[in-house]
Amino acid sequence: MSQAHIVGPMAPAWGGGVSPFRIGWNKLMMWIFIIGDALLFAGFLAGYGFLRLASGSWPDRSQVFELSFIALMTFTLITSSATMATAVGASQRGERKLVLVFLGLTILGGLAFLAMQAYEWSGLIRAGASLASNPWGVPLFGATFFMITGFHGTHVLVGVLILAITAARFQTGRGRPEGVELAGLYWHFVDLVWVFIFTLFYLV
Amino acid sequence: MAYKTYWKTWLGLLTLTLAMIAAGGRTLPRLLLLGVLLAAMLVKAGFIGGVFMHLRSETRALMLIVTLTIIGVSAALFFGIAPDGMRALALSDR
Amino acid sequence: MAEKLETAHAGFLRRYVFSTDHKVIGIQYLLVSMGMAVVGGLLAVLIRLQLAWPGEKWPWLGKLFPDGMAGGVMKPEFYLSLVTMHGTLMIFFVVSLALLGGFGNFLIPLQVGARDMAFPFLNMLSFWTLVPGCLIMLGSFLVEGGAAAAGWTAYPPLSAVRSAIPGSQWGQTLWIVAMALFIVSFTMGGLNYVTTILDLRTRGMSLMRMPVTLWTLFFASALGLVAFPPLTAAAVMLLLDRHFGTSFFLPSGLFFGNQVLPNEGGTPLLWQHLFWFLGHPEVYVLILPALGIVLEILPVFARKPVFGYRLTVYSLVAIAFLSMIVWGHHMYVSGMSPYLGEFFAIGTMAITIPSAVIGTNMIATLWGGSLRFTTPMLFALAALVFFGTGGFGGIFLGNAASDIYLHDSYFVVGHFHFMIGGVTLMAAFAGCYYWFPKMFGRMMSERLGKLHFWLTFPTFYAIFLLMHYMGLAGMPRRYYAFDRFEFLEALQAPQVWITLIAFVLSAAQLLFLINFLGSLLRGAVAGPNPWGATTLEWAAPSPPPHGNWGDQLPEVHRWPYDYSVPGAPTDFTPQTAGPAEVPITF
């Protein structure tokens, strides 16, 4: 048996300290975190799906929501995702001012989304909706609505905070492109979740 | 990735969103509407993940593990419990 | 380098309390798990007291628990709190903590040849998130109504209706909060484990050269990371049902306390599905590291390579994957669709195959080996015995048809104690005895260790083997007394025997604690490699310094099982030994 007969697909090439996915540990960790957080929302949405299948009727969304307003919310979040991607790209090109501008735009987008979500919530609460009951005949509708949008909104808020910290660090010169990229991954994830909520809760 | 790519993707996402709302407004057979909306949803997700999150530039292994894990586990969960959701309705007097 | 200097001058708090060193954190987890094990064990003693002598008066216990044991007699609702908290503490705050938190933290950077985890600060946070969780769990005994009493499975409506049982007042809410903290802590730890194993392996440490222990820790962490989130979602829904009037798990027409509850639309079945979606993978999260520890120890004390290394790794993959689609085998009698039941039964039967492969590989590892029956080896062998016999019981429970009879009987209790108590606990002990020299630079007493073993293994086995037969005889679980059932009259005597044996088992654990603490203070000083093992941690000093490896990271040239290589100068060849010393043939 020759010395070089080493079994396993990675055996001869492993130089050590490099990811098999060719990304640093912090990006890998963020991706695994995203997988877990995605599955948290999957848990909420699966529960919602189960309960909708189990209920004989479900409120007509066009009676409850102003769908054009929801479309505006979606537009805002998608746009903030595009500005975030631009900020990440700018950080990799070393264009510092562009980074700060587009981070700022992303934060504004996030805050606008939260404001719109709060406005939507207050309208529904004034109409008599709560976790326990609502005027549209299916108590679980309100429960699932507030729970799912509440968790998503909290994630948006956390994202805005993360972005603010990232921007502040970049402002003082202590920020790095990796930090912007990691914040970007989180922000895109929050937008991704909204795509599913928007479709499965508001449209389907 | 070029800035242009992000904004082209943005345009695509917006178009899809408007199309989804338009589809929701029309009276289509339920199953067809569901199919259209879910397909559009997955395409949007693909854009965000692939372009904005750069998954399409990462190693294939990472892309597969992220997408297959999320889709696979979510599908296992939903399709594992959905039959009992329908059964709950069938057994009730609603 | 800067971090090294910083810690050298750091005070007591930074070095031993809020340390970011994985070895310190691992030991912290281990010590906490030992403390929680004492509590969990005492709860078991109380359970056994009640079952052997139901209705008996225990005055001094009455003073300790004035509500639950008013007048010294145990109330049924207190009994339910006991079984709930015993299960919860043992599963999450003892076994998971010891195997993943303790051994996972300590071993992973050492066995991959890294200086520490990928994100040491997050690692420290994970421990300090857990501690409040432990305190809240323990504190739940002291709130009004006492600790949660809906079983470790927390099924609604018992867990969702606050007035249903005293433990469902504040105890259940605190249970949920503590579990949330546990899940956050687990997630933070799991992120570190998976990332460190993937990204921080040293030069030459390819994935197929990792010790089996690392593979099991990797899969267990990954499994936990994907399986916990749906339970978190369910826990939120349960909190909303309990405190905000929602009906996720509560159907219409629930009649309680002389009135119909206002809920409608939900079903407890949804909780069961979401809970067991985690609950089943969770048991594999517990058992995989245990199997890893066994497969770590057997080669060392048989002076033989692990048999079927690759097949073992593939079997671990199969187990991890299959474990995510068999959760319904806990729900055969729940009213779930029987077609769904058959699907789950098929998956459950399938999972016996890779499990059997691993068990067979363990036996084959021993075959023809030069066996040394040290204390770690004895406990590893005990774990193997529990795995085999306990696994057989699982076949009867995994089949929907037989499970209809056995569900919620003592057969189940016997089975899972063989697996979680037997395999994982024996493996945890084996790991303690085996890695104690590396952790603390001292040897534990072999005499006390063997005494501990011979008082623990036969008693544990006897208790839970008996329970299999009691279950077959029809004895249901979670009842606080059986003396009023005529058909179970003959089993009242075995209840007493079990309790007496349990006293011996509990007392024997003192031997372990005495050994552990005594050896810390006065044990024989241990060299870097007292067992003659090949894995990387034994190439570092005992205990390893901060940064583990001094100036130079180790370089790996071979797999970890070059024991008794023909022609080699010693009967073990460390992973760092180059090709010039002993040829690399695998």
A7, A51, A133 ranked by CB distance to C248: nearest: A51
Query: Does residue B33 contact residue B22 with C-beta atoms inside 8 Å?
Result: no
Buried b (16+ CB within 10 A) or exposed e, A30-66: bbbbbbbbbbbbbbbbbbbbbbbbbbeebbebeebbe
Instruction: Among A14-18, C254-258, C375-379, C418-422, name the one with the lowest average pLDDT.
Output: A14-18
Instruction: Tell me: do B52 and B10 sit in the same domain.
Output: yes
The rounded distance, in Å, linking the Cα atoms of C191 and C187 is 6
Radius of gyration of chain A (CA): 22
Q: What is the mean pLDDT of chain C?
A: 94
Q: Which chains share 3+ C-beta pairs under 8 angstroms with A?
A: B, C
A42, A55, A204 ranked by CB distance to B77: nearest: A42
Q: State the pLDDT at residue A107.
A: 98
Kindly state the average pLDDT of the residues C387-413: 95
Summarize pLDDT for C437-448 with one digit per residue, the tens: 999 999 999 999
Phi and psi dihedrals of C260, rounded to 5?
A: -85, 130
Neighbours of A167 (CB within 10 A): 21
Q: State the pLDDT at residue A28.
A: 95
Closest CA–CA distance from residue B80 to any residue of chain C (Å): 8
Sequence letter at residue A109: G
Q: What percent of chain C has pLDDT over 70?
A: 98
Radius of gyration of chain C (CA): 24
Q: Do C225 and A32 touch (CB under 8 A)?
A: yes
Angle, in degrees to the nearest 10, between helices C170-199 and A25-54: 140
Could you tell me the CATH number of the domain that includes residue C335? 1.20.210.10
Chain C residues with CB-CB distance to B85 below 8 A: 270
Query: Does residue A202 contact residue A70 with C-beta atoms inside 8 Å?
Result: yes
Distance from chain centroid for Cα C422: 10
A8 pLDDT exceeds 80?
A: no
Q: State the pLDDT at residue C171.
A: 96
Closest CA–CA distance from residue A154 to any residue of chain B (Å): 20
Closest CA–CA distance from residue B46 to any residue of chain C (Å): 21
Summarize pLDDT for C29-38 with one digit per residue, the tens: 999 999 999 9
A9 pLDDT exceeds 50?
A: no
Contact residues for C306 (Cβ-Cβ < 8 A; gap 6+) = C212, C295, C298, C299, C312, C361, C365, C561
The rounded distance, in Å, linking the Cα atoms of C30 and B67 is 36
- Retrieve residue B69's tokens: 């894990």
The rounded distance, in Å, linking the Cα atoms of C512 and B48 is 55
Chain C residues with CB-CB distance to B88 below 8 A: 267, 269
Contact residues for A148 (Cβ-Cβ < 8 A; gap 6+) = A41, A44, A45, A48, A197, A201
Chain B residue nearest residue C343, CA to CA: B80
Instruction: Tell me: do B45 and B3 sit in the same domain.
Output: yes
Chain C residue nearest residue A5, CA to CA: C585
Kindly state the average pLDDT of the residues A50-62: 92
Helix (H/G/I), strand (E/B), else coil: C1: coil
A69 pLDDT exceeds 80?
A: yes
Kindly state the average pLDDT of the residues C360-377: 96
Summarize pLDDT for B15-58 with one digit per residue, the tens: 999 999 998 888 888 899 999 999 999 999 999 999 999 999 99
Q: Do A9 and C208 touch (CB under 8 A)?
A: yes
Instruction: Tell me: do B15 and B52 sit in the same domain.
Output: yes
Chain A residues with CB-CB distance to C207 below 8 A: 8, 10, 20
Q: What is the value of pTM for the model shown?
A: 0.94
DSSP, res C324 = G
Q: State the pLDDT at residue C508.
A: 97
Instruction: Among A96-110, A170-184, C183-197, name the one with the lowest average pLDDT.
Output: A170-184
Q: Do B80 and C339 touch (CB under 8 A)?
A: no
Neighbours of C240 (CB within 10 A): 22
How many CA atoms lie less than 13 Å away from A92 in the CB half-sphere?
A: 12
Contact residues for A4 (Cβ-Cβ < 8 A; gap 6+) = A12
Kindly state the average pLDDT of the residues C416-444: 97
C124 pLDDT exceeds 70?
A: yes
Kindly state the average pLDDT of the residues A125-146: 94
Which pairs from C108-111 meet CB under 8 Å and 24+ separation? Answer: C108/C22, C108/C193, C108/C196, C108/C197, C108/C214, C108/C217, C109/C22, C109/C196, C109/C200, C109/C548, C110/C23, C110/C438, C110/C536, C110/C537, C110/C540, C110/C544, C110/C548, C111/C210, C111/C211, C111/C213, C111/C214, C111/C535, C111/C536, C111/C537
- Retrieve residue C292's tokens: 């890893």
Q: State the pLDDT at residue A16.
A: 65
Instruction: Tell me: do B8 and B52 sit in the same domain.
Output: yes
Q: Do B84 and C340 touch (CB under 8 A)?
A: yes
Neighbours of C394 (CB within 10 A): 19
- Rounded to 5 degrees, what angle do the CA atoms A156, A158, A163 make? 90
Q: Do A34 and B66 touch (CB under 8 A)?
A: yes
How many CA atoms lie less than 13 Å away from C274 in the CB half-sphere?
A: 34
Sign of the four-CA dihedral A136, A140, A146, A148: negative
Domain A25-53+66-203: state its class.
mainly alpha
DSSP C240-275: HHHHS---SS--TT-EETTEE-S--S--HHHHHHHH
The rounded distance, in Å, linking the Cα atoms of C470 and C490 is 10
Q: What percent of chain A has pLDDT over 90?
A: 78
Q: State the pLDDT at residue C584.
A: 83
Q: What percent of chain B has pLDDT over 90?
A: 79
Instruction: Tell me: do B24 and B65 sit in the same domain.
Output: no
Sign of the four-CA dihedral C409, C410, C416, C418: negative
Kindly state the average pLDDT of the residues A18-39: 91
At C336, the pLDDT band (50, 70, 90 cuts) reads: confident
Query: Does residue C104 contact residue C289 with C-beta atoms inside 8 Å?
Result: yes
Buried b (16+ CB within 10 A) or exposed e, C307-335: bbbeebbebbebbbebbbbbbbbbbbebe
Site from C248, C267, C340 to mutate, A interface, most A CB atoms within 10 angstroms: C248
Angle, in degrees to the nearest 10, between helices B3-25 and A67-93: 170
Judged by a CB distance cut-off of 8 A, whether residue A58 touches chain B is no
Specify the higher pLDDT residue, C558 or C12: C558
C226, C327, C339 ranked by CB distance to B69: nearest: C226
The rounded distance, in Å, linking the Cα atoms of A106 and B33 is 33
Distance from chain centroid for Cα A123: 24
Query: Does residue C224 contact residue C285 with C-beta atoms inside 8 Å?
Result: yes
The rounded distance, in Å, linking the Cα atoms of B3 and C442 is 61
Contact residues for B35 (Cβ-Cβ < 8 A; gap 6+) = none
A7, A139, A143 ranked by CB distance to C586: nearest: A7
Neighbours of A107 (CB within 10 A): 22
A23, A31, A79 ranked by CB distance to B10: nearest: A79
Chain C residues with CB-CB distance to B76 below 8 A: 324-325
Of C198, C217, B1, residue with least CA distance to A23: C198
Contact residues for C505 (Cβ-Cβ < 8 A; gap 6+) = C455, C456, C459, C460, C463
Q: Tally the domains of chain C.
A: 1
Sign of the four-CA dihedral C333, C336, C341, C347: negative
Chain B residue nearest residue C275, CA to CA: B77
Closest CA–CA distance from residue B26 to any residue of chain A (Å): 12
Phi and psi dihedrals of C543, rounded to 5?
A: -80, 160
C230, C267, C337 ranked by CB distance to B77: nearest: C230
B73, B77, B83 ranked by CB distance to C337: nearest: B83
Chain C residue nearest residue B70, CA to CA: C226
Find residues 28-47 of chain B whose CB sits inside 8 Å of chain C. none
Q: Where are the alpha helices (DSSP H) in A15-138?
A: 25-54, 61-64, 67-93, 96-126
Distance from chain centroid for Cα C80: 22
For residue B92, the enclosing domain spans 59-94
C462 pLDDT exceeds 50?
A: yes
Kindly state the average pLDDT of the residues C548-566: 92
Closest CA–CA distance from residue A38 to any residue of chain C (Å): 8
Query: Does residue C422 contact residue C459 with C-beta atoms inside 8 Å?
Result: no
Q: State the pLDDT at residue A62.
A: 87
Of C25, C220, C222, residue with least CA distance to C128: C25
Q: State the pLDDT at residue C504.
A: 97
The rounded distance, in Å, linking the Cα atoms of C412 and C418 is 10
Instruction: Tell me: do B5 and B50 sit in the same domain.
Output: yes
Sign of the four-CA dihedral C24, C26, C32, C35: negative
Q: What is the mean pLDDT of chain B?
A: 92
Q: State the pLDDT at residue A15.
A: 59
Q: Do C201 and A42 touch (CB under 8 A)?
A: no
The answer, yes or no, to whether the previous bond of C545 is cis (omega within 30 of 0) is no
For residue C20, the enclosing domain spans 2-250+265-539
Chain A residue nearest residue C248, CA to CA: A140
C340 pLDDT exceeds 70?
A: yes
Query: Does residue A16 contact residue C205 with C-beta atoms inside 8 Å?
Result: yes
Kindly state the average pLDDT of the residues C64-79: 93
Q: State the pLDDT at residue C8.
A: 53
Which residue in the block uniquely carries the two structure tokens 């699932």? A144
Report the DSSP beta bridge partners of residue C260: C255
Phi and psi dihedrals of C442, rounded to 5?
A: -135, 160
How many CA atoms lie less than 13 Å away from A131 in the CB half-sphere?
A: 17
C459 pLDDT exceeds 70?
A: yes
Q: State the pLDDT at residue A11.
A: 38
Instruction: Tell me: do B50 and B11 sit in the same domain.
Output: yes
Q: State the pLDDT at residue A14.
A: 56
A124 pLDDT exceeds 90?
A: yes
Q: Do A199 and B34 touch (CB under 8 A)?
A: no
Closest CA–CA distance from residue B36 to any residue of chain A (Å): 10
Instruction: Tell me: do B26 and B38 sit in the same domain.
Output: yes
Site from C123, C184, C196, C237 to mutate, A interface, most A CB atoms within 10 angstroms: C237
Sequence letter at residue C86: H
Sign of the four-CA dihedral C287, C292, C293, C297: positive
Of C308, C434, C408, C324, residue with least CA distance to C365: C308
C3 pLDDT exceeds 80?
A: no
Q: State the pLDDT at residue C147.
A: 96
Q: What percent of chain C has pLDDT over 90?
A: 90
| First and final C-alpha spacing in chain C | 36
Instruction: Tell me: do B65 and B33 sit in the same domain.
Output: no
The rounded distance, in Å, linking the Cα atoms of C528 and C543 is 8
Find residues 84-123 of chain A whose CB sits inside 8 Å of chain B. 84-86, 89
Q: Interface pTM (ipTM) of the complex? A: 0.94
C556 domain residue, yes or no: no
Q: State the pLDDT at residue C521.
A: 95
